[in-house]
Structure 1
Amino acid sequence: MDASGPTDAPLRAPAPPSGPPSETTGGMLGSVRYLMMASGLAFVLVVNGLIGYGIVQRRHEALDAGERATRDLARMLEAQALRTVFAVDQLLADLAFALNTHAEGRLPDSPAIHEHLVQRRNAFPQVAGLVVVGRDGEVLHHTADTPVPPFRLTDRGFFTAPRDERAGLEGRLHIGGITTSRVVQGTQVIPFSRRWSVPAETGGEAFGGAVVAMVDPSRLATTLESMRIDQEGSVVLALADGPVLLERPRPTHRDPLLTLSQWPAVARALEGHSEATIRDAAPDGPENLISVRRVQGYPLVVAASLPSADALADWRRDTAAWTAIGAAMTLAITLLTAFVVRQHVRREQDQARLAAASRRIRGILDSMLDAVVTFDDSGRIATFNRAAESMFGVAETAMVGQPIDALIPEGGGHADDRDLMARRHDGHAFPVGFTVSELRLGRRSDAKAEAPADAQRVFVGVIRDMTRRKQQEAELVASKTQAELANRAKSEFLANMSHELRTPLNAIIGFAEILTSEFFGALDDRQMACARDIHDSGEHLLEIVNAVLDMSKVDAGQYELHEEAVELHEALGQCLIMLRDRAASGGVEVRDGTAGIAATLWVDRRAFKQVILNLLSNAVKFTPRGGSVTITAESDAAGGFRLTVADTGIGIPAEFMGELFQPFRQAENSASRRYEGTGLGLSISKNFMDLHGGTLSCRSVLGAGTAMTLHLPAARVLNGGGPVAGNAPSA
């Protein structure tokens, strides 16, 4: 190729750089790479440092918010407990005053006092019962509906604590731990009690007993839960000396707390303080934010806790998000830095690859066996590979710029994939295959991308010398013609020979029948057996000759159908009569299942009977003694006719089914096979059905039997009185 040719310029790759980059360029590239990498690393460190600082600060803020929430929760619980306890304290104080002012206050089982106690109890939902205990520890009054059994309560703390008050401390409210009530049988209560002071005979006041309010813990818990504080965390209400009165929500994974000593951190937090907020492990293990407060004026302690994990839930979610953002930014900066650094290197690599690709493409074109020619819209040749130079006997330099018509006179119209005549430089014409494809310069690598409207078009033509192929095609046509002539001669020879053989065979069969009829005199047993053998052999040979004659006519295309209306029962009956003796001698039962079917078919009588007889003969021949052959007929959905001959014989091997209808083929081909025959019956039957536009099919199971089915289209079925629909034959 002439590299200086103007028409060759569009296909040439850009020239590679004249030499390797200079040391200065390499130094600049190294410095840019270093600066970009250092800048990216610094930016990543700053961003991740800020994110880490924000995460740490956010954690402190989340924990502080959790502590505030527990303090608010503890204050709410303290306020509610204070209101409830104060109300019960006032109730007991009023009750002690009423006992001193009422005439029956010191008399046991007073109905008036009982009514007053019931009314006061009903006014406080948290109070399960009210009890007045005398100075001797016996119950004087109560709110129970049944009489209280006589017993002393001197062993109960709610009685002994008011009784043993020191001087100056009278009138304090005493709260006991959860206990089982003796007054209200079977209930758990929290006893609230006050000293009942009565006027002394010597002046002043004396101990008259104790007034007790039995608070229902469940009612007290309901009051607390009405504030929905249990949805913010867990709360505990306990006595100052340790016993736990309430714990909400109730734990499901551990036993409830009985005393604050089971939570040492809470007990230590109140040493010397009225309130405290700490972080410590809960009894169930996880760290909690805990706020503890003493109820002002009463011996109660409230503790509210919030799991640190719950307080940090939002922080963890935000931390995961900011961590992902930091990782994404780190990855993005890293990839961007690597991308920018590699651009210059890739540019040089692309230029080197482009030059190598140009050389490789040119080498591929020159190594091709077919001629490859490129030309422009006007048909002017741009490139010409070595195979083209060898094929046309002319150098590329002489052909560049010449019209494509100089090579292929008929190719000026850019013919595609055609067999044309080409002309060598010496003027000799020869056949070629010419394939043309269009190439738009400037199109991107994406096949779906469109080239610019002004992109230059180049046509690539592939020329293949077809001289040898044309010679082979001519030889193949000649061989095919000779084979067809030989096949036709064979068929005509077989037809003529079969016709010539039938005349003497008819004579042999006729004379054998005369001998067996003893027309010329009586024969002894041996002579009679010989005459019958001659007759049977002649009949068998005549069947073979007729089959060969029919096959030859079909192969030669000389068999003509003589169509007429044929009754199914008539044709089938004649075939059954001819087969009756053979079936009886073989011990095979033939069952005719077409008795209820009347059908008239438009067929060649002889060919149709021959098909039925062949199917019945094979079924009887290949069915062992004691077996059966069944004939059935039916119409199909399209109005066609279907006849099936099914036997219980030996069946056909699966590997032989592909050759079943081939002439002269049998499942047993050895010289010692058990069943006689030429292997033409099914082949002739198949050809006869094809001539009628029908089909012949087979279903067989080795060792179980075979079913042969012939099918005629609806056009072959005339009107009949049975289930087979009638149709007139087509013209």
Structure 2
Amino acid sequence: MKPPRSLLVITVTAVCLLASQGAATWLLVEQSRTAALATAGQTVKRTLGTAAANINRGFLQVDALLSGLESLVAPSESADPAGPNRKLRNLSDQNFLVRELMIVGADGQVVASGLEATRRHPPALKSSLLADDALPHGGLLHGGLPHGGLPHGGLIVGDPLRNRLTGEWSLYVGRAGRWKNEPVVVVAEIPLSNIAQLALPETTTAGLRVSLERTNGQLLMSNPHDARNTGQILGPVSDRLTPGGPWAVVEGRVSGRRVIGAATPALHEGLILVAQLTEEEALADWRETRRVVLIASAALAAVVVLLAVGAVLYLRARDRAAASLRWSKRLLDQALDSMSEGLAVYDANWTLVLTNRRYVEIFPHLRDVAVPGTPFERLARHAAAVVLPAGTGAEREAWAEWRRRAHEGSESFEQTFPSGLTVQSTQAEMPDGGIVSVHRDVTAAKRAEEHLRAARDTAERANRMKSEFLSNMSHELRTPLNAIIGFAEVLERNGAVPEAVRIDYARDIRLSGEHLLAIINDVLDMSKLDAGAMILHESVCDLRRLVGAAGNMLREQARAAGVLLRVMIPEEPLPVLGDERLLRQVVLNLVSNAIKFTGRGGTVDVAVVRAEAGGLQVTVIDNGVGIAPEHLPNIFQPFYQVDGTASRQRGGTGLGLPISRAIMKMHDGQLEITSAPGVGTIAVVILPAVRCAASPADEVA
């Protein structure tokens, strides 16, 4: 359902106002943020310029102080030995940056200094100022002085060190010179606090920081002081900032927080000054401004929303009655469409008023005509053409008449359509004379009834087969047991039995026991196959010899039954990969069955040939009683026995064929049987080509 036009206009207007206000708020916030960053950048650049001027001036003063200092304080022969120390002390007092002046010899020992404590506990300048690998220019005393003269270089800055006496961090700077014709270094100790005060005399900006570093990123001084990282290499500043370039927002090397920073090279080679202000402090005022702007914007947005909501509520109150009616109709339509039965309502004139979705799903052939206003007569004639697609006009008219009578009555009826659909219909008359017709798809229920009936028949057949099996097994087991017990009793009671009779009785007992063992073995093999516990013990065996041996084993049985047994096998070996015992059992079962069900004077032919697909085929053909067609599909079911006098007379458990087929499946082969009553039976065993071993004849087992 489309919303009212007025509601759409109000909504679009409110959304546009809120979007415009949001865009203006965002633009104002971003502009103020940009301005705050620009102000912070200007502060950083201004601070950096001041710090660079002060530090360059201070270092120039120290450089000028150290230049020629060794000759200025050099002792004369008539002078006081302590004179150089006093001069150094006076000179250091005159420079507010310098705490101490000293002259250091090539061995690192202090030759002269302004403070006596320095001479007693000299600073460890070997690693910070004097060593060749300590500075970019090399050390001053270890290979840095040319023979016969002073080096012509500028001020050399060492690493920051902690003073042994005061514990204060200091920066030691020096110049090369000579003292009593020996190479020395004139060194000035500058406390880092003095340099820090020089770089950042006073500031009211929180988060502002100035540092003096080498170009390789070694931190020499910072204000505020950073004792943990002083002297450490933090990484080249040029990786983040361009020395002498504009300010930029970068990630801090120590804290990892974003900062507004700028860098400029100092006058002394290898030194660089860095000023930075944390972004958090730079945007502190902006965040407060942003909060105020967002609050004002939110208040204005709330006013717009309240006005829009008030207008919408007014419109909704006006349309509430119509909306309630539409909702009721929609609810009714949903209830009808959610029914599992098809529903059709007709008025007193048998004109269709409404149908639900399920009605059209059950009768898709009425989709085009089942619309409100269609007479029932038209629906009935259209349905007759579908139910009787090949019927005559009279037949269709008769079906439509039956449908009219069923529609008029109030009893239930069923309709079956050519597609197999079965529909149960119920009619009910309404007080105003209209009719409500309810249709239910009962196809699944009908099929379920058929399945239940088939399952019941199957269960009854299985129960009957079980009873027959128990009856047959009782007979099969009792027969050899009675023979064994009878002959044993005769031998037991008659001690003086002639030798020939005793031998015949013993043979009969053995044969009965073997027969009983065969029955039990069949039952056990069948149970193993059902449980999946039968295991193949595969080897390469000769199928030709296996079939020939089976024929020899059953030749006496055939002779006793008056049956001619003919075994036709090729002369060359037929190697196959399989379980020799189980394959022999299959051949014995098939040949034994053929002999058992072939009458006296009949023949049983056994042949081994190569199959068309490259495998091997064993065929057993007899001209016995055969199997009726109605029994042929069931002969591979366990315990199934063909009804008839012949089978009952010959006995058996009904397990030979099921066991044989299961064994062939384990060998990836097939067992097929064709038969006709009075003609005979043909059993065909096929072993696939993959079972035919490629071994020579001398390797055949």
Fold similarity call, TM over 0.5: no
Question: What TM-score does the superposition give when structure 1 sets the normalisation length?
Answer: 0.37
> What is the TM-score when the length of structure 2 is the normalising length?
0.38
